Structure 1
Amino acid sequence: MQRFADLNFTMSMVFSILGAIIMVYGIVSPPTLSSLKGLNINLWWGTLTVVFGLVFGVIYQISKKKDAKKEVKEVSQRKQETV
């Protein structure tokens, strides 16, 4: 399960950093396509990507806590078996 948690952390960092870069670009630059009628797609897409990265971060934290609880339970069971 540890490898899956590491992948969640990596994906959360990648999406959050890329989303932040796109979002900053959207803030400092005007909308480029006239067909979007003034909608700044870089700002919206960057925001969505950051949120997606944060979701992966939350999943990582939840799985990390579950793994810690599972490990504590296993250690306590081993101690009880040896006694």
Structure 2
Amino acid sequence: MRVALYEVIIEALRTLGGERHYSEIDEWIIAKYGQRWKSCKTELADMVHPEKGGNKNTSSRHSIERRILSRRGDGIYCL
């Protein structure tokens, strides 16, 4: 079964407690899934809702309904 990075990021945040720096999320993903993805940094940014610190004019691949994260600080994301 193929899993999307979007789903893996949600899994990582749930496992890690809901709020983490992108580097911690990357480390968790690599430990569980290996080097399948380079980094989750761009995907995380695309998953931030505009009302929660996301870019309002983004070219995100995600619909507004899937943009469920908040940005808490420099590189820190929250589910």
Q: Would you call these one fold, judging by a TM-score over 0.5? A: no
Which TM-score tier does this pair reach, normalised by the shorter chain? under 0.3
TM-score between the two structures when normalised by the length of structure 2: 0.25
Relative to the length of structure 1, the TM-score reads 0.24
Greater strand fraction, Structure 1 or Structure 2: 2
Report the structure, 1 or 2, having the larger helix content.
Answer: 1
Question: Which is greater in Rg?
Answer: 1
